[in-house]
Structure 1
Amino acid sequence: MPYKIDLSTEVVADYQRLQPWAQRSLEAALLVASDDPHRLPAVPQQSEHARILSFADGRGLCMVEIDDDAKRLAVRLIEPPR
């Protein structure tokens, strides 16, 4: 069962500022990640539940916090694609 994707108000605002192609790329990357987020690269010196998600051909980055109990992914945009 896929994890639920939880976008904060801040992420929604950031998402709306992205170009349409970058929005589609982020959506696709999040859907893939929701199936098995533990496959994403770990974030050095962060919580063991923190993962990094790239999108837009590696030009955009998000931090994903995995909540295994709730089967939820909290997403934060780190670097929008340029």
Structure 2
Amino acid sequence: MYFYSKKLRKFLRVLPGKKYLGEYRFLPIFFIGGAVIEFLMINWHVGEVNFYKVYKKRKVEELVKQCEREELLKLQIKKT
């Protein structure tokens, strides 16, 4: 028993490439969609910030915290 509508079934039949690509005919759609999302993540700014600036800032903060922990461990080892 299938739980999708007749409209969805009709839409899926209309998409080209069923003969040659079969189930993989949707792959180019998702590939292009992923490329569009990646482009927006790079070029779409909210205020002065975009996704990659936030990501880089977070990674730098994590590295600083890790270095601080390592320094504290070295100091504790030297004291004992």
Greater length-normalized contact order (CA 8 Å, ≥ 6 residues apart):
1
TM-score in same-fold range (> 0.5): no
**TM-score, normalised with respect to structure 2:** 0.24
Which is richer in strand? 1
TM-score, scaled to structure 1? 0.23
Relative to total residues, which structure has the larger helix share, 1 or 2?
2
